[in-house]
Amino acid sequence: MPLHLPPLTRRTFIRRSLAATAGLLTLPSLRAAQSDADPDRWALLSDTHIAADRAVILRNVNMTEHLESVVKGVRALASRPAGVFVNGDCAVLKGLAEDYATFSTLVAPLREAGLPLHLTLGNHDDREIFRAALKDAVPAAPPLASRHVSIVQGERANWFLLDSLDIVNKTPGLLGDEQRAWLAKALDAHTAKPALVMVHHNPNPAAAAKKTGLADTEELLSILLPRRHVKALFFGHTHTWRFAEQDGLHLVNLPAVAYPFIPTEVTGWVDAKFSEKSAALTLHAHDTAHAAHGKTTEIVWRTA
């Protein structure tokens, strides 16, 4: 299961102190804790690349400053999102315990504002170190032992969070047979609402892309495309902000919070607002002079 960090409201904190067992980390309790949140709004972040040392700069970017600015932006929204996703590469390169300690401190203001965080793993994370570093957030009964997968049930749609971390600090990603079998079953068990899938690595069926993106892209798409209630696949990894579509399935590449690989690419985060048949995705760029900053793109759900 991806790591879910519940909000640090005073009540939650007291409850957790009194009973530090898994029940408090279940999704129904998260939903109760965020009952005054806007159920149609979600903050989408990816690729934060936080290093233990807050002063570290990569590609001319201080990643700590970027994440701090995003945290402020999310907290400043007119209504409180139902949750915040960080879609992998939370850590800078190798998923060190010290990286996660700094990450945890930087996202604490979100949890203090009552926002649950849902974290997935990227190729610069380390699954076991991550779980140990944030052990209070590891659920008691994850659906898969080998991977961190889960379902986050929203008002308008259900999120299916995948784990494409294959080898730490190696670029390509892989879901694998067991995880794909779980996903197919999980999607079939939740058909009443639109399904949105989130994974760190970018789908790319080209043979060359297997060296950089999701190696089992075709197998994943063969699960998603025929299931018409699956409306969108969100991913990160490339540090670019892009939209594509395949057979009506939206492929949304979330920008990095950290740095771009190509200087002209925009970085920032996305404010997602859902309605019955679509989502409006607004980019909050670090560079407010960037042409894409503040622009909203509506993605309309394909028919069932």
Q: How far apart are CA 86 and CA 242, in angstroms?
A: 17
Closest distance between Zn ion and the C-beta of residue 72, in Å?
22
Q: What angle do CA 70, 71, 74 make, to 5 degrees?
A: 85
CB of 47 to Zn ion, least distance (A): 4
Least CB distance from residue 23 to Zn ion, whole Å? 34
Whose structure tokens read 């879609």? 87
Smallest distance, Å, CB 260 to Zn ion? 10
Q: Where are the beta strands (DSSP E) in 115-188?
A: 117-120, 150-153, 158-161
Token pair 């789908």 is found at 203
Task: Report in angstroms how near the CB of residue 123 gets to Zn ion at its nearest.
Answer: 7
| CB closer to Zn ion, 113 vs 258 | 258
Binding segment for Zn ion (CB under 5 A), chosen from 40-48, 74-82, 166-174, 261-269, is 40-48
Closest CB 51 distance from Zn ion, rounded Å = 13
Q: Is 294 left (phi over 0), alpha (psi -120 to 50) or beta?
A: left
**Residue 247 Cβ, how far from Zn ion at the closest point, in Å?**
27
| Of 158 and 204, CB closest to Zn ion | 204
Stretch binding Zn ion (CB under 5 A), from 25-33, 83-91, 224-232, 273-281: 83-91
Question: Does the footprint of Zn ion cover residue 89 (CB under 5 A)?
Answer: yes
Burial 86-95 (b: 16+ CB within 10 A, else e): bbbbbbbeeb
For residue 171, what are its two tokens? 């670029």
Of the pair 40, 89, the CB lying nearest Zn ion is at 89
250 touches 234 (CB < 8 A): no
Binding segment toward Zn ion, per CB under 5 A, in 63-71, 77-85, 89-97, 162-170: 89-97
The dihedral built from the CA positions of residue 102, 149, 258 and 45, taken in this order, carries a sign that is negative
Q: Which is nearer to Zn ion, 141 or 262 (CB)?
A: 262
Per CB under 5 A, 271 contacts Zn ion: no
CB–CB of 234/248 below 8 Å?
no
# chain residues binding Zn ion, by CB under 5 A = 2
Q: What is d(CA 196, CA 229) in angstroms, rounded to the nearest whole number?
A: 9
Q: Which is nearer to Zn ion, 89 or 99 (CB)?
A: 89
Site for Zn ion in 42-61 (CB under 5 A): 47
Q: Which stretch binds Zn ion (CB under 5 A): 20-28, 84-92, 176-184, 190-198?
A: 84-92
Is 99 among the residues that bind Zn ion (CB under 5 A)?
A: no
User: Residue with structure tokens 């939209």?
Assistant: 243
Identity of the residue, 47 or 163, whose beta carbon is nearer to Zn ion in the bound complex = 47
User: For the chain, percent helix, then strand, then coil, each to nearest 5?
Assistant: 30, 25, 45
- The dihedrals phi and psi of 296, each to the nearest 5 degrees, come to -110, 130
Residues ≥6 apart with Cβ < 8 Å to 244: 250, 251, 253
**109 to 138: interface string for Zn ion, x by CB under 5 A:** ------------------------------
Q: Nearer Cβ to Zn ion, position 12 or 87? A: 87
Question: Closest CB to Zn ion among 81 and 236?
Answer: 236
Nearest to 60 by CA among 248, 287, 283: 287
Which parts of this chain interact with Zn ion (CB under 5 A)? 47, 89
